Structure 1
Amino acid sequence: MKKSGLFIAMLLLFAFSTSCKTAQKAVAAKTESEKTSKKKSKFKPYSKVVTSDAVTDDGLFKTHQVEDDFFYEIPNDMLEKDMLWVTRIAQIPSNLGGGYMNAGSKTNQQVVAWERFQNKILLKVKSFSEVALDSTAAISNSVKVNNYEPIMYAFDIVAFSADSTAVVINVTKFLSTDVPSISGLSSRLRKQYKVRSLDKERSFINSVKSFPENIEVKQDFTYTAAEPPSNSSVGSISMQVNQSMILLPEVPMQPRLFDPRVGFFTVDQIDYSSKALKADEKTYIRRWRLEPKDPEAYARGELVEPIKPIVYYLDPGTPENLKEYIKQGIEDWQKPFETAGFKNAIIARDAPTPEEDPEFSPEDIRYSVVRYVASTTRNAVGPSVSDPRSGEIIESDIIWYHNHLRSYRNRYLLETGAANPSARTLDTDTKEMGEMMRQVIAHEIGHALGFPHNMAASYAYDVEDYRNGAFTQENGIAASLMDYARYNYIAQPGDENIRFVRQMGPYDHYATNWGYRVIPEATSPEDEVATLNSWIMEKAGDPVYKFGRQSSRFDPQSQTEAIGNNPIKASTYGMKNLKYVAQNLSQWTSSQTDNYDDLQELYGELLGVYSRYAGHVVTNVGGVNEDLKKPSQSGTVYSTVDKKTQQESVQWIIKNVFETPSWLVDKNIVQNIGPEGYFDRLRSIQARQLNSLLSFDRIGRLINSETVDANYYTALEMLQDVRKGIFSKSTTDIYRRNLQRVYIDRLSYLMTEDSSRSSYNIAQSDVRALVRGELNTLQSTLRSKRNSASNQVNKYHYEDLLARVDLILNPR
């Protein structure tokens, strides 16, 4: 009995213990549940965040506006996807950046991805400049850990969609804050205008729109600034910034390797998985993805339509009378694309009406648009958005500013008016203006297709060919539309059947074929190289197919706004025409309008044209021809301009610039457009060309030619020729006195200026020894001229120059 009782007692005790443990577990579970509940409570129910009052836009992400708050609903399958974030200035204050920035200017472009980390969504910036293209290579992990992706912003998850397939974040603070990486105002501009901060009271999110492949945000920002570029009394800078977030293709396009002998915009990468014994730098061209609908027919050489053609829509605000010219400019590129094997590769369309397509928007990344902007800006631009992984151009908007045609009318009159009677008016014929607009649009489309300026294209034609009507009608005025060669300023009065306006050229067909023709058998960029090189070699040595870089400012073959293969002859013809225009400018303008506004505007631009013609000749001096080649080609890449041409160029400048061009100071013009400053206009033009001629880099190239050219034009010879040209005249008037002071000031600059910006060590070169020698020689000349001065003004002038020279040689 006792054992039985003890046994029962033990059972009861065990049961009680078990019961207690169960109860404890229940309590613990309840406590954990409460903790979990509390933890989960930080995420609000979807309906409490996206309320019935929300304005929702469905696209790449759902975006919601609830009163003043904006939310992104990011699907889980959109996390870690590559997206391109492009920041542009949508509306710009007057004179921002000194007038060299336009609405539509891109301030930053970067690849981003949304990633989840615990209860946050991170917006991370990705880089494709350093990659391991072979992801299986061991080094790929090293590339990853040594290129850790920065976090642009971190967002708390505030809710989940009802089916838990998406996260909801509040982007209000992010989009209304001055985040440096997506700001429209660079650090340089902030410093220049002494920007203090973003004024939150005058800054807000204007709109958030979601489209199938992109999200567009407009921000209106106002910054407090001590020295704003305009409206200084307000003490602030206001601008509208556009943020574009674009889904990149899941599978990148096969890239095409860049060759500098053919002009293309590019993207760069460093491939660490390359078999080269170094980090392999790879540069790909930027181009649209054009793939033939019928690859077999394409491979047989038949013209084939692309799977997805390039389509440009015209802004609904485009004036009706201009639409046909814009469409022609777009579709002028169909012929070069046919050379590349595609038909109907590029198409112009009117934007659909709201009735035809209520969802159409120029901001939708699926649509490329020629935007017509009501602005006094005189410009047109052709920006595009490209995939940094492959160079694929995804979208492009051509921006045409309303007043740009005025620039073309003015230059048409000034540069062709002598030989072209139809240009001698302020009311240019509509068809002629339409043709100019057509070519400008085609030029900007060229940029949007991936083509940079080809500044060598106008050097392909002989100067005398520009006076041949049959030649100009067939070939235009440059071998490429992408040159800055706008008008035929060489043709002379009496030349017949002349084409004065640029047009598409043979280089445009060649470059389009090189960049866009599909090479069927190639499965990698490297597989294409041999074929691409063979196409270049077929045309090597023919100036019509030469590419000249805009950055080659030392190369007389690649000059902006120049035409013809001889700058001296071309500028001589141009100056002759300009004299005729100057004599008749009042008759063609103020006599017709009965006011002087247009006369003043055109006279200012005429001085600019004159200076430009002079500058083309200056480039010959110390000039170096750049002919881009591979080592397998004969000849060198760089060769100095021959001595005779350089000497003739200096003498041309002396005759046409330093000997007073008094025809530019026409009393019928200057005395009707302003009360003063007549003499100073010429001084500024002469100073510009003299300072350019006596630049550190130009003198340095002349010194450098001593090392590679047996018959070179020396820096000393150039300095002597310039000095003699400026001081050889026996008579001295106000213009000559001005020029001589400019000359002394320039020599002082060469003796004393900090040389850190130059391409060589000036202090240890011959430059200052040569300049010192010229100053010593000049002293003797000045003493002689002072002693024989014909009047007191000239005597004082030479005494002043002597004092200036002495101060340079013997600084106090």
Structure 2
Amino acid sequence: MIKKLPILGLAALLAAGCGSEKSVFGGKDMSAENTSKKSTNGLKSYKEVITSEAASDEGLFTTHFVDDKLYFEIPMEMLDKDMLLVSRIAGVPDGYGGGYVNAGSKVNEQVVRWTKRKGNIDVKVISFENMSDEESPIYKSVQANNYFPILFSSKIEAYNNDSTSVVIEVGDLFENEVRAINGLSSSLRKRYKVKKLDQSRSYIESANAYPKNVEIKHVMTYEAEEPPTRDQAGTISMMMNQSMILLPDAKMQPRIADHRVGWFTIDKYDYNSEELKADDYELIRRWKLVPKDIEAYKRGELVEPEEPIVYYLDPATPEKWRPYFKQGIEDWNVAFEEAGFKNAIIAKDPPTKEEDPEFSPEDVRYSVVRYVASTTRNAVGPSVTDPRTGEIIESDIIWYHNHLRSYRNRYMIEAGAQTEDARTLNTPESEIGEMMRMVIAHEVGHALGLPHNMKASSAYPTDSLRSAEFTQKYGLTPSIMDYARVNYVAQPEDEGVRYIRMMGPYDKYAINWGYRYIPEADSPEAEKEKLDKWILEKAGDPWYEFGNGYAGVDPQSQRESLGDDQVKTSEYGLANLKKVVPNLITWTSKDGYAYDDLEEVYRELTYMWRGYTSHVVANVGGVYETRKTSNQDGVVYENVPKQKQKEAVDFLVEEAFTKPDWLLNQEILNRIGASGAIERVQGLQTRALNNLLDEDRLNRMIANEEVNGDEAYTAVNLMKELRDGIFSELYNRNKVDAYRRNLQRSYVDIASEYLKKLNAEDNQALLKSDILPLMRGEMQTLKREINRRKSGTNHSLTQYHWEDLIARIDAALDVEA
């Protein structure tokens, strides 16, 4: 097949005087004369630069090592082509980035073009965010106002013998400080007090060329005053891997995003829009799947894709976990079948050296589930995307070894009251393997283009999570992309329930929406009617709703929450925690070892309690969000009903803002620390109270009262109920213990902090809101109540405490004096 030379590439070819003029214009062959001119212009011959000693590798670009210099031999037809440059860390020092930056971490991806400028080759970084038709008059303005930066430039050293390729030295790109492709961010540079790059200890390790990509490994060494670990002797060295992949000329047809279905997206601005503005829209990120047999696909038969999605396991993956990793990857085939594809995603063991001697996890030709030997407790699912269309080119799932520890602990804490399998730190392989499988499936979901859907879990009635029949069929949530890891709602008497999350109906729906091939649509716009129809068919069914949970406003869209009733769910969860605590010593102890595991699990249990509390807090001043478009009936935002908000506050007063005797188990506390229990509880309660009295939350409550009047749960209601509950000892004239004294001080301090902002100039919105009058009135009321009732007990510390609160209130009220 004859390759068509792009117009820009042809212009560059002619400007360089390369190739045969006879072949272009029909005149005599001028190649010899051109070669002579190049010599007189100071260029060396090819053999002078690329000597017989060169170590060469042919591919997209031919790479040549000559002594310690690296040269790229770039075919002229590759100039002005779009290439994706992906920068990854291939080797990293211990503790780098706090353990969250590891071998395999991507630090940047950008589209580049290698372009000729007189006697130089420039590498330009290309953006596709702002678009315009090249035939449109505004195209020139779009170009002028989006001028592409030059990442790197190198003078031309030579041409090959027939002038079809140009040779440049590229050592400076990989051995110098080029911020756009290195692994040292500005924040880490400050954190480790990096002084400079030491070029004497920075070098190119390897260069490998393949038909569609080039892979470069290079070592970067920095002088640093405070490196990640002390034994690094003032030095940070890391191995970087630069992958440059040729983007396809045949572009995938993009699919326009819809905010009602969750997808990772790419922003676009169309300056040719007929709208009276630049038309902003988003494209979803997805792999290119095309049916092998389109006619069979049209008939509704399951058809294999022309190119399936293939994931390899990291060679470092322990053998016993490999089956679970593979299952987690291939679980998505069930969802792809909804989109009409079979065998769309395949998991493979790492190839042996004999099978594929060039296999490397950093190579963009391979998507890999990386197994990272790290104490970090996490897993991530990033991907590499063609910004022109949203096509996912490659992805590396990262599993950190110590993530096993997270799930071991969580299973004990949240399911230990209900199932015997969870009552050990040596979780049975079948259980921990199933958890790992679902973590991998979750991360693969990200790599397929799906973001978190934190709203999914609220679709299931809370009590359904106590049903064996329901949970075994539908799991814990309609989407594995939710954070809903363990069924903490089920009670000890609920036999046969599922405790571990699984893929659900929303996942199948979202994959069908994003990956279903629509052969009759020849443009993204032509697909829209059908895509909208699929959404409207599910409208009103909470199983198919999406919410990312990041706004922090919708109580139905929260991480780690289960069920549609956060108060009831937290009551169930708390009931289980109360049964777990007395058993923790037995479940975590090991003869001959200290109580480190007990301390760790107990600490994480307190975090669970904090989470259950925050799930309830979100209802107060909360607003439900149901994503809709203008052709759908009903509103998008609705305030949480008054009664639901009151129930939430009642729960908080009773469970979160009382002394947690169930948590203060002295048998545990006396084994894990000499002191600190009071401070631990104070921190948890103060955090919850700060969350509840958040400025944005109070403003929503004030606005809701203005609109709905008596139907609203008001900020005044909230403050009165909190005061009655938190200061119950005052009204009962009882002694106040140390835990409650801390909580009461926190209440006064939070209100006082608002009043201290009275003279601030940088927060005009607060100064003009009703929050300051609300807090001032609350402090004045509380002061009167304390003065009236403070003499009700003869406990000295309680008396001092009441006097102290009055002094704090006076100091706060004195701000305006």
TM-score above 0.5, yes or no: yes
CA distance in 2, matches of 1:687, 1:763: 24
Which SS does the other structure have where 1:664 is aligned?
coil
- The residue that corresponds to 2:17 in the other structure is none
Range with greater deviation from structure 2 (162-171 or 568-577) = 162-171
Query: Which residue in the other structure is 2:6 paired with?
Result: none
Correspondence for 1:421: 420
1:400 maps onto 2:399 in alignment: yes
Matches of 1:103 and 1:650 in 2, distance apart?
47
Q: Deviations over 1:578-614 (max 9, x none)?
A: 1111110001111567531211111111111111111
Are residues 692 and 97 of structure 1, via their aligned partners in 2, closer, same or farther at CA, if it must alter by over 3 Å?
farther
Q: Is the 8 A contact 1:211 1:364 kept in 2?
A: no
Name the structure 1 match of 2:800.
796
- Counterpart mapping for 1:542-621 below 5 A: 542-590=541-589, 594-621=593-620
TM-score scaled to structure 2, two decimals?
0.91
Q: Which residue of 2 aligns with 1:702?
A: 701
- CA distance in 2 between partners of 1:316 and 1:260 (Å): 39
Give secondary structure in 1 for the equivalent of 2:630. Answer: coil
- Indicate the SS of the match to 1:218: strand
> How big is each residue's C-alpha offset from its partner over 1:392-450, in whole Å with a ceiling of 9 and x where there is no partner?
00111111111211111110111111111111111111111111111111111111100
Residue identity in the other structure for 2:199? K
**Which of 751, 756, 761 pairs up with 1:752?**
756
Q: 2:811 aligns with which of 796, 807, 811?
A: 807
Instruction: Please list every run of 5 or more consecutive structure 2 residues that lacks an aligned counterpart in the other structure.
Output: 1-32
Deviation, 1:756, is 10
- Separation in structure 1 between the aligned mates of residue 35 and residue 391 of structure 2, nearest angstrom: 51
Q: 1:629-778 counterparts in 2 under 5 A? A: 629-710=628-709, 711-729=711-729, 730-753=734-757, 761-778=765-782
**Amino acid of the residue matched to residue 246 of structure 1?**
I
2:315 aligned with 1:331: no
Match of 1:64 in 2: 64
Q: Distance in 2 between matches of 1:702 and 1:564?
A: 24
Residues 755 and 762, structure 1, Cα contact 8 Å, conserved in 2 = no
1:126 is matched with: 126
Size of the aligned set, in residue pairs, is 779
Whole-angstrom CA distance in 2 between matches of 1:218 and 1:801: 63
Distance (Å, rounded) in 1 between the aligned partners of 2:667 and 2:42 = 80
CA apart distance, 1:199:
3.3
- Tell me what 2:74 maps to: 74
Q: Distance in 2 between matches of 1:773 and 1:604?
A: 38
5+ residue gaps, structure 1: 1-32
Structure 1 stretch displaced more, 285-294 or 211-220: 211-220
Q: Which is worse superposed, 719-728 or 447-456?
A: 719-728
SS in 2 for 1:128: coil
Return closer, same or farther for 1:35/1:542 CA change in 2, 3 Å cut-off: closer
Measure how far apart 1:782 and its partner are: 3.1
- In structure 2, how many angstroms separate the alpha carbons of the residues matched to 1:774 and 1:415? 38
Alignment RMSD: 2.4
Give the letter aligned to residue 581 of structure 1: V
Residue 752 and residue 544 in structure 1: after superposition, are their counterparts in 2 closer, same or farther (change >3 A)?
Answer: same
Tell me by how many angstroms 1:532 deviates: 0.3
CA distance in 2, matches of 1:262, 1:759: 36
Matched, 1:311 2:310: yes
Give the drift of 1:193.
4.6
SS of residue matched to 1:803: helix
Residues 151 and 699 from structure 1, CA distance in 2 versus in 1: closer, same or farther, beyond 3 angstroms? same
The question of whether the paired residues in 2 share the 8 Å contact of 1:700 and 1:760 is answered with: no
Kindly provide the amino acid, as one letter, of the partner of residue 289 in structure 2.
L
Give the superposition deviation at 1:568: 0.3
Greater shift in the superposed pair: 612-621 or 47-56:
47-56
The CA distance in 2 between the partners of 1:453 and 1:735, in whole Å, is 37
SS of the aligned residue for 2:522 comes to coil
Cα distance change on mapping 1:312 and 1:233 into 2, 3 Å: closer
Structure 2 residue aligned with 1:278: 277
Q: 1:439 aligned to 2:443? A: no
Within 2, Cα distance between the matches of 1:440 and 1:358?
30
Shift of 1:721: 1.9
| C-alpha distance after superposition, 1:221-270 (max 9, x if no partner) | 34444555553984554444332222111121100010000010001111
* 2:751 partner amino acid: L
- State the one-letter code of the partner of 1:797: H
Query: Secondary structure at 2:766's aligned position in 1?
Result: coil
Match of 1:494 in 2: 493
Deviations 1:430-479 (A, max 9, x none): 11111111111111111110000111111111111111111111011000
Q: Secondary structure at the match of 2:453?
A: coil
Q: Which residue of 2 aligns with 1:14?
A: none
**Change in 2 beyond 3 A, CA 1:243/1:227:** same
Q: How does 1:246-261 map to 2 (within 5 A)?
A: 246-261=245-260
Say whether the 8 Å CA contact 2:70–2:169 is kept in structure 1: yes
1:150-299 correspondence runs (5 A):
150-226=149-225, 228=227, 230-231=229-230, 234-235=233-234, 237-299=236-298
Asked if 1 retains the 8 angstrom alpha-carbon contact of 2:417 and 2:491, the reply is: yes
**1:755·1:761 contact (CA, 8 Å) conserved in 2?**
no
Q: What is the SS of the residue equivalent to 2:376?
A: coil
Q: Verify the 8 A CA contact 2:99 2:374 in the aligned structure 1.
A: no
CA distance in 2, matches of 1:732, 1:419: 36
Name the aligned partner's letter for residue 264 of structure 2: F
Moved more, 220-229 or 51-60: 220-229
Shifted more, 147-156 versus 451-460: the winner is 147-156
User: 2:765 aligns to what SS in structure 1?
Assistant: coil
CA distance in 1, matches of 2:522, 2:764: 45
Aligned mates of 2:742, 2:42 — CA distance in 1: 77
Q: Which residue of 1 aligns with 2:378?
A: 379
Once residues 141 and 784 of structure 1 are traced to their aligned partners in structure 2, the CA distance between those partners, rounded to angstroms, is: 77
Identity of aligned residues (%): 54
Say whether the 8 Å CA contact 2:451–2:481 is kept in structure 1: yes
Q: Give the match's secondary structure for 1:709.
A: helix
Greater CA radius of gyration, 1 or 2? 1
Checking the alignment, whether the CA contact within 8 Å between 1:224 and 1:235 is kept in structure 2 is yes
Corresponding residue of 2:509 = 510
> Which whole-Å CA distance do the structure 2 matches of 1:204 and 1:587 have between them?
54
Hey, what does 1:12 align to over in structure 2?
none
Note the alpha carbon deviations across 1:299-329, whole angstroms, 9 max, x for none. 1111111111111111222211111111111
Matched residue type, 2:651 = W
What residue in structure 2 maps to residue 46 of structure 1?
Answer: 46
Asked if 2 retains the 8 angstrom alpha-carbon contact of 1:213 and 1:365, the reply is no
Please give the alpha-carbon distance, in whole angstroms, between the structure 2 residues aligned to 1:222 and 1:626.
50
1:475 aligns with 2:474: yes
Letter in 2 for 1:781: E
Structure 1 stretch displaced more, 740-749 or 460-469: 740-749
The whole-number CA distance in structure 2 between the counterparts of 1:736 and 1:148 is 62
Does the 8 A contact of 1:621 with 1:698 survive in 2? Answer: yes
In structure 2, what is the Cα distance between the partners aligned to 1:533 and 1:402? 42
Q: C-alpha displacement at 1:361, in angstroms?
A: 2.8
2:281 partner letter: K
Residue in structure 2 matched with residue 391 of structure 1 by the alignment? 390
TM-score normalised by the chain length of structure 1: 0.92
* 8 Å CA contact retained: 2:553, 2:623: yes
Distance in 1 (alpha carbons) for counterparts of 2:305 and 2:605: 46
Q: Kindly report which structure 2 residues correspond to 1:85-100, keeping only aligned pairs within 5 A, or say none.
A: 85-93=85-93, 97=97
Change (3 A) 1:359 1:187: closer
Q: Shift of residue 783 of structure 1?
A: 2.9
Q: 1:135 to 1:593 in 2, by over 3 A?
A: farther
Once residues 709 and 664 of structure 1 are traced to their aligned partners in structure 2, the CA distance between those partners, rounded to angstroms, is: 40
Question: Structure 1: how far apart are the matches of 2:810 and 2:420?
Answer: 54
Assess, with a 3 A threshold, how the Cα gap between structure 1 residues 279 and 439 changes in structure 2: closer, same or farther.
Answer: same
Q: Residues 37 and 542 of structure 1: is their aligned pair in 2 closer, same or farther, counting only changes over 3 Å?
A: closer
